[in-house]
Every structure is written in C-alpha cells, then in structure tokens.
Amino acid sequence: MGLALLLGSFGVCVVLGVPVAFAMGIAAASAFWYEGFPLLITFQRSISGISVFSLLAIPFFVFAGELMLHGGIAMRLVKFASALVGHVRGGLASVNIFSSMLFGGISGSAVADISALGSILIPVMKERGYHADYAVNVTVTSSIAGIVIPPSHNMIIFAVAAGGGISISKLFLAGVIPGILMCLCLAIAAYVIAIKRNYPAEPFPGWNAVWTTSLQAIPGLVTAVIIVGGVLSGVFTVTESGAFGAIYALLLTFFVYRSLDWQGFKTSVVSAVRTTAMVMVLIGFASSFAYLLALYQVPEKLSGFMLGISEEKIAVLLMINIMLLVLGMIMDMAALILICTPIFLPIVKDLGMDPTQFGIMLLVNLGLGLCTPPVGTCLFVGCAVGRIRIEETLRTIWPFYLAILAALVLVTYVPAVSLFLPSLLE
C-alpha cells in the first residue's frame, strides 16, 4: 500500500502539472506519513542527498557554460566548423553538428547548445535554402551531444545517484567516443537527406581560413581541456576543475575576447543560479524518493520481474532501454537519472555490465527523450527558435531518431565503445 501511495501520488502530481521535483517531494512526504515516520524525515533525507561535495562542481560547470553562451564563444566555434566541414554536401548541417560537438563539450548542456548555436545557424540555414524542419531537426538532435561529451553535469548526477562508487574521470572519458559516434551517425543521416533534397554545398574557404578560425576557437576549447584534463591528470578534483574552468571562461570572455559585457555577465549569473537551484531541489527530493524505493525493495522486485521474462542479457538490456525511452518521453532527464539509476544499476551489474557503460547508455537514451514529445525540452526550444510547429518537425525527424538509436545500440551491446578510453587509465 505504501508503494502504491508513493507512485500514485507522484503520478497524480505529474498529471496535474506539478513540477517533477516537488511531485517527488510530495510523494515522499505522503509515503513517510503513511509509514508513521515524522514528516521531518523527508527534509532530512533531502538535505543529506545534496550534502555531497562533488555536487559543488555543478554550479561551476553551469556558470562556465553560461559565460561561454553569452560571451561569444559559439560564433567562433561556428566559424571554425564552417571552414572545416562546410564544403560537404548540405554543408551547414555538418557545420551545425560539428559545432554542437565542440560547444557541447564546453557547455555540457543541450538547451544551451540550441540557444547559442540554434539562434545563429537556424536562420542562416533557412536563408541558404534549407527547409525549416531540416534545420530544426539537425539542431535539436545534435544538441544532445553536450550530454555525453565531457564535461557534463549529468555525469556527476549519475555518479551521485549510483552511490558515489563510480569514477567521474572514467565517466568523462567514456563519453568521448559515444558522443563522437552519435554525431557521425547524425551527420550521415543529414548528408543522405541533403542529397535527397538537393541542398547546396558551401564553397571551401581555403586552409588559411581553417587555420585562422581554429586559432580563434582554440582558446574557448581550452575550457573543456582544463576541466577534463585537470580531473584526469589528478591535478584537480571535479569541483576544483569546475571552479578553474569558470574562472578561465570569465577571464577569456571578459579580457581576451572582450565579448562579455556587464549585462551578459549578470544574465550568466542569474541563469546559473536558477539552473543550479532547480537541479539541487530536484536532487534533494529525489533522494527521499529513492530512499523509499529502496525501502519498498522496488529494484529487487523489478529485477525479479524482468529476469522472470528472460535471463538473456540482450533481452534484459533491450527491456531496460525500452523502459527508459518511454519514460524519457514523459519526464525530465535529471529526475529520471536520479530515479532510474538505483533501480536499474543493480540489474545490469548482475548481468555483468560495467556501471560506467550503463551510465553512458542511460545518458544517450534519456538524451533522445529530450528530443521527443510530449516532454521534449530540446524539441520545444528548437521549434521556438526556428519558428516552426512541432508537428512539422515530427514528420521528418525520424531519420535522426534512427541515427541516435543506432549509436545507442552500439553503446549498449559493444562495451569497447564506452570502455576503451577509461581502460587506458587502469
């Protein structure tokens, strides 16, 4: 009865439009009350959930990304990508995807990617003769590269949800190849569609332009090198690397590029504070929710149910992926990481799957959910930037969905895709 009350009250709150974080808090408080615990336990569990040192890295990562977003880094990356790959057929789509790969590795945010790059590239693509649905589809699906390519604050959330036993530095390395692989799959899909629709290729500007734009873009890319390299080398902890990355981003945009004005700085601070507050509230209430899931032995029951259907590793991983895909369509990504990790991680461990590989599989899977209705944040933002109805994009976005699914299949069933680089640390 307690489990039914927990899940039922959560479901009712979500249907009524209550934010997911508060829906989990209300559901947890209801279950604690039913079990006879003081309601104070809800807040104690929530506070303990965010009293984790590694979580301090999140506001630094977010702030660094916001500084990059409002400090003109995106335009320099777009110019570099355009000079390098713009001459391919449907070149601006390749520029879009390659820029997302570069900017995503700096900001770690899919929504920031769309806001920064989409506002630049979608209008340009439409002016050059690309259809609006194509421009939006490319922008939306490529934006999730920032979730997988390090540094990503979602990796820190996963590590915390997993109980803190997973190396964040290994997670960072594990996301590199899958992120590049996903972008390659998207580039192939974009190229095929570009040929079918007879989109033009941009003229090659020459190697001098490639060299010049790369010099302008490299200082911005160094932000990711500082954050990831500091962690991998052992010079910094994750939190310290995030702090150094934010300081470097501030100095770069304010003093070197001189593209960050006072208004942009204030906007960056406000946006970073708002995002961090949302994430911390979500993590806190999710900790209480996850505690009750463990109390009601949900992971064990779900594991028994799934293994009762099949004990084959391929089949069980397929079922987990299908469940995650469905959940990703109706819930926020961070909430699902916090809820699903304690449930599915013990199952995949029993199957012999490395927790790091599962983390990347989870991120790729839930990243796809950001591009799908009815709760597709990236899809909504992309359509708003491109000034196109969601229905129009959904008619033609399926090849890009298939490209991401192809990358997801490789990440799920080929361990070396995500574990090769982390194995070099051992």
Kindly give the interhelix angle for 207-233 and 238-251, rounded to the nearest 10 degrees.
150
pLDDT at residue 364, rounded to an integer: 94
How many CB atoms within 10 Å of residue 325?
16
DSSP state letters, 92-103: HHHHHHHHHHHH
Nearest C-alpha neighbor of 332 from the set 12, 113, 14? 14
Using one digit for the tens of pLDDT, what is the confidence trace for 249-264? 888 888 888 888 888 8
Give me the mean pLDDT over the 228-250 stretch.
81
pLDDT, tens digit (0-9, with 9 covering 90-100), for 315-363 = 999 999 998 888 888 777 888 888 888 889 988 988 889 999 999 999 9
Least confident of 38-42, 87-91, 347-351: 87-91
Q: Is the pLDDT of residue 106 over 70?
A: no
Q: What is the pLDDT of residue 186?
A: 93
Tell me how far CA of residue 52 lies from CA of 36, 46, 60, 151, 347, in angstroms: 28, 11, 15, 19, 25
Cα–Cα distance between 139 and 151 in angstroms, integer?
Answer: 20
Q: Give the tokens for residue 155.
A: 């990796």
Local structure of 230: helix, strand or coil: helix
Q: In angstroms, what CA-CA distances link 66 with 61, 72, 267, 344?
A: 9, 11, 8, 32
Domain membership of residue 403 as a residue range? 39-423
Cβ atoms of 8 and 28 closer than 8 Å: no
Q: Which residues of 179-205 are buried (b: 16+ CB within 10 A; e: fewer)?
A: bbbbbebbbebbbebbeeeebeebeeb
| pLDDT at 108 > cutoff 70 | no
b/e 261-278 (16+ beta carbons within 10 angstroms → b): eeebbeebeebbeebbee
DSSP letter string, 300-314:
HHHHHHHHHH---HH
CA atoms of 178 and 354, how far apart (whole Å): 15
When pLDDT is cut at 50, 70 and 90, the band that residue 246 belongs to is confident
Residue pLDDT, tens place only, 293-305:
878 877 777 777 7
Task: Decide: helix, strand or coil at residue 14.
Answer: helix
What's the angle, vertex CA 152, arms to CA 225 and CA 92, rounded to 5?
Answer: 80
pLDDT reading at 59 higher than 80: yes
Residue 380 inside a domain? The answer is: yes
pLDDT at 375 over 70: no
In a domain, 145, yes or no: yes
Q: What angle do CA 96, 102, 107 make, to 5 degrees?
A: 110
> Does residue 137 lie within any of the structural domains?
yes
Cβ contacts of residue 218 below 8 Å, gap of 6+? none
Q: Does some domain include residue 7?
A: no
Mean pLDDT computed over 86-109: 76
Q: Is 89 helix (H, G, I), strand (E, B) or coil?
A: strand
Highest mean pLDDT among 86-95, 183-192, 229-238: 183-192
Q: Please check the confidence at residue 77 and state whether its pLDDT lies above 80.
A: no
Does residue 184 lie within any of the structural domains? yes
pLDDT at site 318: 93
- Domain contains 242: yes
Q: What DSSP state is assigned to residue 235?
A: S
On the question of pLDDT at 215 being above 70, the answer is yes
Sign of CA dihedral 183, 189, 193, 196: positive
Query: Which DSSP symbol is given to 396?
Result: T
Question: For residue 34, is it within any domain?
Answer: no
Radius of gyration of the chain from its Cα atoms, rounded to whole angstroms: 21
Q: Is residue 299 part of a domain?
A: yes
The domain total for the chain is 1
Q: Quote the tokens at residue 148.
A: 């997988």
Residue 405, pLDDT above cutoff 90: yes
